[in-house]
Amino acid sequence: MQQETSTYHDVFLTKQPVFDGEGRLWGFELRYRGSRNPDGANSDNDLASLAVTAAASLCPTDGLSEDIRIALAFSAKSILAGVPEALPPDNLVVVIRETQANNPDLKLALPHLAERGYRIAVNDYRARPDAEWLLAMADYLFIDMADAPPQEIAHTASRGGIAGKQLVARQVDDVQTRQLAATIGCSLFQGYFFKQPEIVSRRSLSSQEAGRLRLLKLIQRGDQALEELAEAIRADVALSYRLISYLNTPFFGMRHTIRSVEQAVTLLGWRQMVDWLRVIILADFANGDAARELAFASVQRARFLELAACKANMHADMARSRFLLGLFSLLDVMLATPMNELLDPMNLEPEIRAALLGEENEASAWLGLAIAFEKGDWEGLDAAMSAMDLDPAMIAHSYAESLDWTALLLMEPPMNAR
């Protein structure tokens, strides 16, 4: 019997951005688990190798900037097998659980990695007495903000021996937790906090943002608004340029160079053209690292839900509605405006609108599935897949494909497309 070959698409893998105190992107933490054997039957080395493959593929063109880190957890066995050395030391942060400090082989192997320029991070840092040697080697200490009371976390962060180490707060799921993490000395923050609405005071949308929302409303009217939509796009020089530039990239594989909005509609058809237009409008809302990650998360979430719905044999129109659900699900965060105000002008399906406003229905269950995956909440993901009768391998594949698709789509158009 031929042995099945695994790829990183067979792994539940999610990338979670890490920001500094100014909201600048520091890098990503990759979290992973086998999709076929959630009980832990997967080989540590195999899973780590697949995660490394995924890390290398997340930036498929010119590679990562030296300023962007990828934090990836490895078991002692994977480190001894040399798995981390498949990635360049400029980018990789090798994450070790503090509980592995009593492994004598690891104590010999880690200095070799450090000498080659790899940075070391200690995960679930609790200041264990037998981990002093590991603490001395560490560049970063990961502190889990959800695993202990605030007083215990603060006490851990104040222990001796951490001078010169950067403290990274994990599972920072709201603004209050981020503020607490900053007060105890954390300078880097990973978690769901940047995807949470923070409407401190009502603000007016800029003229560009208001114009983009009007376009989204126009799109929802359907192809009867085609001429009006084409005229609105032509009047927006920046949007016209971006739309035509994107459509002329190899991603779309067009046989003819597109030179006008009307030509785009003719070649692509109304439905496909407005799908790309929605994505571009959403990406235009992004200003700053956090906003760009929100745009990426929105588009990737949309594509994941669409792919999963298609592979679950849902009707094509239903799969398209799942795409819209994901695409608009972070709009209130991006624009710091209540979701109901943003949705009022749009003629969305009642089920999608209700889910975006926080009501529980079938659509919100799909959104919950995506959120559990993004957060690396494997128990929640397992529960959602079971309740929705979804195949885990299919979900893992859909998520990995959506990461690849979004990374390729949101790349800057090449010079020859300008």
Give the tens place of pLDDT for each residue, 16-42. 899 999 989 999 998 887 665 444 434
Q: Which of 142, 115, 109 is nearest to 29 (CA)?
A: 142
Q: What is the pLDDT of residue 373?
A: 95
Determine the Cα–Cα distance for residues 408 and 418; give it in Å rounded to an integer. 17
66-70, 223-227, 352-356: which range is least confident on average?
Answer: 223-227
pTM over 0.85: no
pLDDT of residue 282: 81
Question: Please, which residues have CB within 8 angstroms of residue 201's CB and are 6 or more apart in sequence?
Answer: none
- Write out pLDDT tens, residues 134-143: 888 999 999 8
Mean pLDDT of 120-131: 85
| Strand-pair partners of 96 | 122
Output 289 or 322, whichever has higher pLDDT: 322
- What does the mean pLDDT of the chain come to? 81
| Band of residue 204 on the pLDDT scale cut at 50, 70, 90 | low
Q: What is the pLDDT of residues 323-353, one digit of tens each?
A: 999 999 998 888 888 898 888 877 789 999 9
What is the average per-residue pLDDT within 305-333? 92
pLDDT the model gives residue 322 = 94
As a three-state string, the secondary structure of the chain is: CCCCCCCHHHEEEEEEEEEECCCCEEEEEEEEEECCCCCCCCCHHHHHHHHHHHHHHCCCCCCCCCCCEEEEECCHHHHHCCHHHHCCCCCEEEEEEHHHHHCHHHHHHHHHHHHCCCEEEEECCCCCHHHHHHHHHCCEEEEECCCCCHHHHHHHHCCCCCCCCEEEEECCCCHHHHHHHHHCCCCEEECHHHHCCCCCCCCCCCHHHHHHHHHHHHHHCCHHHHHHHHHHHHHCHHHHHHHHHHHCCCCCCCCCCCCCHHHHHHHHCHHHHHHHHHHHHHHHCCCCHHHHHHHHHHHHHHHHHHHHHHHCCCCHHHHHHHHHHHHHCCHHHHHCCCHHHHHCCCCCCHHHHHHHCCCCCHHHHHHHHHHHHHHCCHHHHHHHHHHHCCCHHHHHHHHHHHHHHHHHHCCCCCHHHC
Could you give the CA distance from residue 333 to residue 330 in angstroms, rounded to a whole number?
Answer: 5
Q: Would you state the pLDDT for residue 39? A: 43
Is a pLDDT exceeding 50 seen at residue 3? no
More confident: 400 or 208: 400
Q: What integer is the mean pLDDT of 49-71?
A: 61
Note the pLDDT tens digit of each residue in 38-51.
444 345 555 666 56
Least confident of 246-250, 381-385, 396-400: 246-250
pLDDT of residue 52: 65
Q: Which residue has the higher pLDDT, 169 or 237?
A: 169
Q: What's the pLDDT at 245? A: 75
The per-residue pLDDT for 141 is 92
Q: Which domains are seen in the chain, by residue range?
A: 8-195 (3.20.20.450), 207-417 (1.10.3210.10)
Tens digit of each residue's pLDDT (9 = 90 or more) over 217-275: 777 777 666 777 777 777 777 777 777 777 777 767 777 777 777 777 777 777 777 77
User: Cα–Cα distance between 258 and 330 in angstroms, integer?
Assistant: 31
**Residues above pLDDT 90, as percent of the chain:** 32
pLDDT at 201 over 60: no
Answer yes or no: are the C-beta atoms of 51 and 68 closer than 8 Å.
Answer: no
